Amino acid sequence: MFLTEEGTVHALDDTCTHQDASLAAGWVENCRVECPLHESTFSLRTGEVDQPPAKRGVRVHQVTVQDGEVLVELSTAAPQLPPGVEVR
Ligand code: FES
């Protein structure tokens, strides 16, 4: 889960679609997260990849902030995992 400087909250799968790296350890700027391993960037809103080497976007989950609580509705879409990585 990511909180931007603008105060918006976003939920994405944590694993980068390029290799097994945690996006939670990445850099967040302009509503994008940069993978800490090879610097691909992903939109926090859509999960789309903006910068290679990753070629596929990361799955996003719907977030609602209600009375100060963050509610996450998990996506039913298949996760976009990198080769060799299985669902944990
Ligand atoms: S592991 Fe994320 S860009 Fe390579």
Token pair of 6 as six digits: 């603008």
First to last CA, the chain: 17
Give the residue whose CA is nearest to atom 4 of ligand 1: 38
Tens-place pLDDT, residues 61-83: 999 999 989 999 999 999 999 98
Ligand 1 mutation target, pool 15, 18, 41, 80, most atoms within 8 A of CB: 18
Is residue 81 in contact with ligand 1, taking CB distance under 6 Å? no
CATH 2.102.10.10 fits 2-73, yes or no: yes
Tens-place pLDDT, residues 18-51: 999 999 999 999 999 999 999 999 999 999 999 9
Is residue 37 in contact with ligand 1, taking CB distance under 6 Å? yes
Exposure letters 34-46 (e unless 16+ CB within 10 A, then b): bbebeebbbbbee
How long, in residues, is the chain?
88
Domain boundaries, the chain: 2-73
